[in-house]
DNA sequence: AAAAGTCACAACCGCACATAC
DNA sequence: CGTATGTGCGGTTGTGACTTT
């Protein structure tokens, strides 16, 4: 960039070559992960110390899960910790063996971007879809996403497959979403499953879920969420894809739609909303194949069925549950 | 088949903090 | 004690691969 040459010559930027990695690894093996600046000053590489360190930390360090998608469990941990620590990626990464802060950061960033896009496509009034991927799929439909999302928090939202090994992670969301949605429809009336990972530092989270998981409204009322939830944050439920959006065009299906943990996760409000613990497969095998009894649009627990669709249009911040 | 959009990832930048001098 | 240097962290950007239309 700037004529910062000197010691090791002009600074090289951009993608690392295998030879550079080798040199860097040699250095680390010799002196340990430190003295990054000396790498350049010794003329070993035309990289800044910072760059060397970053390369090692993010790619060359042993035991990294390079190339592996975030598992459902990792995803959940991120969500939980992000809600707890905020954007302290390095801190969060400490809880995820093999993951770097950069990994976590990128992962979260992707989610946020997706959420942002979805938000734009979820107007509270009938609006034609327009440009994003979701839009494309909904091309000619008018999505009417009711603004009653504040009700959602109380709804159980198991995210069965979602990410995890398989294609999952985020990209797979597009495919998983529809599945989880379907499964969610059943989950809504499910009884909380035992916490699959109670040994994790997610106790508060899981306990909360268990506690909350009575009936949507009961739980909602019992925790007085109306006073806890930052509404603006709650509103835009991430519908993990067009499927969700599609479904949300109908109140009864809408419920099915926001079943996923991502609702909170993508909003970064995992700790604020008693989103149910996702019931994904423990071993992170997002077997999308488990899309058994799919396409069951009739959700017996779609309590919104009784509501006139337009009643949500002008919905204001969350009324107390009793008002519902 | 091509174009457009989206995603995931790698890498850089700037700032903050810690330590050495 | 003040300054310089090194390191760590979070934010941002660029890019290639993939998906959808």
pLDDT of residue A40: 83
For A293-310, what is the mean pLDDT? 33
Say how far apart CA A324 and CA A232 lie, in whole Å: 19
**Whether residue A90 has pLDDT greater than 60:** yes
**Range of weakest confidence among A9-18, A106-115, A187-196:** A187-196
β-pair type (A142-143, A127-128): antiparallel
Element (H, E) at A187: helix A173-187
How large a percentage of chain A has pLDDT more than 70? 33
Question: Does residue A323 sit in helix, strand or coil?
Answer: helix
Q: Which nucleotide is nearest to A132 (CA to C1')?
A: B5
Q: Cα A293 vs. chain centroid, distance in angstroms?
A: 25
Residue A24 has pLDDT above 70, yes or no: yes
- CA dist A241 and A177 (Å) reads 6
Judge contact between A100 and A64, C-beta under 8 A.
yes
- Residue A215 (CA) to nucleotide C16 (C1'), in angstroms, measures 47
Cα-Cα end-to-end distance for chain A? 60
Percent of chain A with pLDDT over 90: 0
Where do you find CATH 1.10.10.60 in chain A? 1-62
User: What's residue A321's pLDDT?
Assistant: 33
Domain A1-62 part of CATH 1.10.10.60: yes
Mean pLDDT, range A281-288, rounded to an integer: 35
What pLDDT, on the 0 to 100 scale, is given for residue A225? 33
The encoded tokens of residue A294 equal 């799919």
Note the pLDDT of residue A305: 34
A71 touches strand B (CB under 7 A): no
d(CA A310, C1' C10) / Å: 43
Rounded Cα distance between A324 and A320, Å, is 7
Helix (H, G, I), strand (E, B) or coil at A143: strand
Say yes or no: Cβ of A110 under 7 A from any atom of strand C. no
Q: How far does the CA of A318 sit from the C1' of C6, in Å?
A: 51
- Nucleic strand B under 7 Å from the C-beta of A5: no
List % helix, strand, coil for chain A (3-state, nearest 5). 50, 0, 50
* Protein residue nearest nucleotide B9, by CA to C1': A106
How many angstroms separate the CA atoms of A180 and A175, rounded? 9
Dump the DSSP string for A11-56: PP-SSPPHHHHHHHHHHHHHH-S--HHHHHHTTS-SS-HHHHHHHI
The protein footprint on chain B, as nucleotides within 7 A of a CB, is 4-14
Tokens 């000197």: give the residue: A6
Q: Is the CB of A90 under 7 A from strand B?
A: no
Tokens at A164, concatenated: 């995890």
Contacting residues 243-282/A vs strand C (CB within 7 A): none
Residue A233 in this model has a pLDDT that exceeds 80: no
Q: Mean of the per-residue pLDDT values for chain A?
A: 51
């Amino acid at each position: 960039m700037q004529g910062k040459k000197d010691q090791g010559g002009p600074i090289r930027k951009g993608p690392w070559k295998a030879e550079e990695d080798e040199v860097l690894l040699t250095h680390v093996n010799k002196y340990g992960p430190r003295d990054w600046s000396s790498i350049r000053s010794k003329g070993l590489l035309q990289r800044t110390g910072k760059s060397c360190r970053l390369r090692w930390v993010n790619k060359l360090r042993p035991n990294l899960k390079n190339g592996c998608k975030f598992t459902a469990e990792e995803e959940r941990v991120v969500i939980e910790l992000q809600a707890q620590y905020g954007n302290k990626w390095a801190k969060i990464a400490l809880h995820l063996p093999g993951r770097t802060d950069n990994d976590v950061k990128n992962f979260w960033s992707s989610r946020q971007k997706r959420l942002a896009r979805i938000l734009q496509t979820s107007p509270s009034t009938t609006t034609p879809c327009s440009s994003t991927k979701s839009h494309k799929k909904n091309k000619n439909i008018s999505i009417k996403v009711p603004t009653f999302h504040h009700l959602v928090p109380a709804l159980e939202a198991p995210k069965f497959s979602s990410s995890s090994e398989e294609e999952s992670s985020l990209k797979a969301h597009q495919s998983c979403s529809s599945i989880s949605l379907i499964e969610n429809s059943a989950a809504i009336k499910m009884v909380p499953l035992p916490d699959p990972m109670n040994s994790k530092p997610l106790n508060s989270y899981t306990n909360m879920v268990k506690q909350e998981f009575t009936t949507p409204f009961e739980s909602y009322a019992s925790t007085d969420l109306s006073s806890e939830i930052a509404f603006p944050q709650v509103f835009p439920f991430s519908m993990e894809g067009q499927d969700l959006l599609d479904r949300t065009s109908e109140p009864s299906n809408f419920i099915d739609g926001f079943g996923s943990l991502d609702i909170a996760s993508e909003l970064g409000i995992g700790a604020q909303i008693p989103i149910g613990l996702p019931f994904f497969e423990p071993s992170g095998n997002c077997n999308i194949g488990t899309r058994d009894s799919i396409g069951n649009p009739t959700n017996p627990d779609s309590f919104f069925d009784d509501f006139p669709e337009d009643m949500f249009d002008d919905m204001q911040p969350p009324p107390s549950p009793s008002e519902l």
